[in-house]
Structure 1
Amino acid sequence: MEEASDYHAAPPLGIDPIGASTDSTALLYKAIRDDIVSGRLAANQRLVVTDLAKRHGSSTTPVREVLQLLRGEGFVIFTRNCGARVRPIDRDFIRDIYEIGVLIEPSLTRWFVGMATEADIAELELVQSQIEDNNFADQILHSELDTRFHTVIYQRHYNRHAAELWWKHREVLRAVSRRFGFTLARRAQVISDHRELIANIKAGDADRAAELVARHVEGSGLHILEHMRAMAAAQAG
């Protein structure tokens, strides 16, 4: 577990996943985003800068910055004469995000297979061993390690815009998925997919690796959608 904590501290991707100008703004961003994802800020609720600043003990300037960041990630919508409001985190929103991942991630993976070193593969195997040691017992740790696993593959890609888009969308899905657990079937599939992906990378098989990643991303998105459907049905009943 000590090695896993090292990954928790490591800066992912070498890019700023949030784009916040200061650490305090980054913390404010996470707090407001969590309020949206958890439902404490309801869908379509107006986001008044002064109210949010008071709620979080902040000045108005970082709140305005955070709302623009959240707008860029799709959590907040701005409309003329009405200002900012919370975008509903509905199934269409999640579907759109994971479908973009299905398009982007195979391309990033295919490039990585062509340049992966023995050190890269060793790092993937190390992170995977930590994922399996944790075995989903600590879901926050699993999320961090899973993100690190895929970051190893994408972090050096020459197209930084594509890598940043992947990161931003992954952060959205991570934030939403924290409301749900993993089914036993999904747990087994994640472990299996990661092992197979490492094997494809070792073999230099870019096509199979890319196809696997497309299925993996789609499976993750569908897993979240199924949880959301079940939650909606339970609330309706």
Structure 2
Amino acid sequence: MSGELAPGETLVESEIGAQLGVSKTPVREALRLLAGSGLVTMSTYKGASVRVIDAEVAYAVYDLRAMLEPEAVRRAVENGADFSEARHVLGEVASGTGAADRAHASQTNRLFHRALYAECGNPLMVEILDGLRDQAALITVTGWGISPTWKGEAAEHLAILNAAEQGNAKQAEHLLRKHITDFIDRVAFELPGERAGDDKGVR
């Protein structure tokens, strides 16, 4: 998430184990878990490597987010959800200027978004959105490296949260969907692969 390991960089179990002071066995298991969350790519011939985010992957993840997350937040608002946790983390969202700060901003961004949809009333919807969070976070950090817009996004977060706290479910849904699609439209054309002008169905 910090960019210390570059996209496509090979992850050698023995080297990582030496750096962390552990054997290769827990490293191998950790790499499998990271592969399952979409952060690491496993190859029979090349082994493990850092996931390369291209436009196709980014559009696929954000397409699903744009369909599910705004709906989940609409339901949470209509259910009278408590958004105090979202308000608590809002002050830390999208702060910082360096690569390490992007990683921190990404973590607080994850916490904020989850706090919005957690009480949607559908555990399966929450589980699916939780399953997207690692890949979405990697796309976010990659996108911020292209277009450092986290401070502007903090204002968008505030508007979404205000609408949710005021019980305006439709407005919160609309603002969140726009927040998600605007981000991918800003950064995807800079990623390798398909360009943002291609019809990927995010909207």
TM-score scaled to structure 1, two decimals? 0.60
* Distance apart, 1:206 and its partner CA: 2.5
Q: Which one has a bigger Cα radius of gyration?
A: 1
- CA 1:74–1:147 in 2, change beyond 3 Å: closer, same or farther? closer
Residue equivalent to 1:72: 36
Work out whether 1:103 is the aligned partner of 2:72: no
- CA 1:147–1:153 in 2, change beyond 3 Å: closer, same or farther? same
Q: 2:52 aligns with which of 74, 79, 88?
A: 88
Q: 2:148 aligns with which of 182, 185, 190?
A: 182
CA distance in 1 between counterparts of 2:35 and 2:84 reads: 38
**Greater share of helix:** 1
- CA 1:152–1:83 in 2, change beyond 3 Å: closer, same or farther? same
Residue equivalent to 1:162: 128
* Distance apart, 1:65 and its partner CA: 1.0
How many residues align? The count is 184
* Distance apart, 1:150 and its partner CA: 1.6
* Distance apart, 1:193 and its partner CA: 2.5
Residue equivalent to 2:197: none
RMSD: 3.4
Given that residues 83 and 115 in structure 2 are in contact (C-alpha distance below 8 angstroms), is that contact kept between their aligned partners in structure 1?
Answer: no
Q: Identify unmatched segments of 5+ residues in structure 1.
A: 1-29, 230-237
Q: 1:151 aligns with which of 90, 105, 114?
A: 114
Alignment of 1:1-237 (within 5 A): 34-35=4-5, 38-39=6-7, 42=9, 45=10, 47-54=11-18, 56-80=20-44, 82=45, 84-86=47-49, 87-117=51-81, 120-128=82-90, 130-131=91-92, 136-137=95-96, 139-140=101-102, 142-157=105-120, 158-159=123-124, 160-177=126-143, 179-180=145-146, 182-183=148-149, 187-188=151-152, 190-226=153-189, 228=191
* Distance apart, 1:197 and its partner CA: 1.6
CA distance in 2 between counterparts of 1:79 and 1:180 reads: 28
Given that residues 91 and 228 in structure 1 are in contact (C-alpha distance below 8 angstroms), is that contact kept between their aligned partners in structure 2?
Answer: yes
Kindly provide the amino acid, as one letter, of the partner of residue 169 in structure 2: A
CA distance in 2 between counterparts of 1:125 and 1:78 reads: 38
CA distance in 1 between counterparts of 2:17 and 2:108 reads: 33
TM-score scaled to structure 2, two decimals? 0.68
CA distance in 1 between counterparts of 2:165 and 2:147 reads: 31
